[in-house]
Amino acid sequence: MNSRTNNIRTNNRIFLIFLLAGVSWRSHAQTGHSVRLDELDISKVYQGRDRPREIGARAEISIGRVPFSGGLHTRTDSRLYISLDGKASTFTARVGIDDRSARDSKAEFFVIGDGAILWRSGILTASHSAKPCRVPIDGIRRLLLKVDAAPGANAHVDWADGLFFYRGARPLTNWSPEDLVLDRRPSGPALPHINGAMAVGVRPGTPFVYPVAVTGQDPVSITVKDLPPGLVFDGATGVISGTPEKRGDYRVTLLAKNGAGMTRRTLRIAVGDSLALTPPMGWLSWNVTEGLVSATILEEMADAFVKYGLRDAGYQYIIMDDCWAAGRDQTGHIFPDTVRFPAGLKTVGDYLHARGFRMGIYSSPAAMTCASYPGTGGHEATDAATWASWGVDYLKYDLCSTPRDSIRERYIRMGRLLENTGRSILYALGAGDEGPGLPIDAHAQVWRTGVDIRDQWKMDEECGIIDCFDDQERLARYQHPGMWNDPDMLVTGIDGKGASANDLGAKGCNDTEYRSQMSLWALLSAPLFISADVRHIRPSALKILANPEVIAVDQDLLGNPPVRFGTKGDLEVWVKEMEDGSRTIGLLNRRNKPAAMTVSWSAVALKGPQRVRDLWLRKDLGSPATGYSTTVPPHGVVLIRVYPKE
Which of the residues are catalytic? 398, 452
Helix (H) or strand (E) holding 76: none
Cα 104 to Cα 72, 126, 258, distances in angstroms: 21, 7, 65
β pairing state of 261-271 and 248-258? antiparallel
How many other C-beta atoms can be found within 10 angstroms of the C-beta atom of residue 20?
Answer: 10
Q: Which class for 540: exposed (0-12), middle (13-18), buried (19 or more C-beta within 10 A)?
A: middle
How many other C-beta atoms can be found within 10 angstroms of the C-beta atom of residue 97?
Answer: 27
CA atoms of 311 and 357, how far apart (whole Å): 8
β pairing state of 66-67 and 62-63? antiparallel
How would you label 214-225 residue by residue, b for 16+ Cβ within 10 Å and e otherwise? bbbeeebeeebe
Cα 125 to Cα 128, 152, 427, 620, distances in angstroms: 6, 15, 51, 64
Half-sphere exposure of 418 (CA within 13 A, CB side): 27
Q: Which class for 318: exposed (0-12), middle (13-18), buried (19 or more C-beta within 10 A)?
A: buried
User: Is the bond into 77 cis (omega within 30 degrees of 0)?
Assistant: yes
Start-to-end C-alpha separation, the chain: 80
User: Is the bond into 219 cis (omega within 30 degrees of 0)?
Assistant: yes
Q: Bridge partners of 116?
A: 113
How is 47-62 classified by DSSP, letter by letter? ESSS-----GGGG--E
Enumerate residues 6+ apart whose C-beta is below 8 A from 253.
223, 224, 225, 226, 264, 265, 266, 267
Q: Bridge partners of 256?
A: 222, 263
Helices and strands (DSSP H and E) totals, the chain: 14, 40
Name the maximum alpha-carbon separation found in the chain: 87
CA atoms of 240 and 316, how far apart (whole Å): 12
How many other C-beta atoms can be found within 10 angstroms of the C-beta atom of residue 14?
Answer: 13
Closest CA to 315 of 493, 555, 512: 555
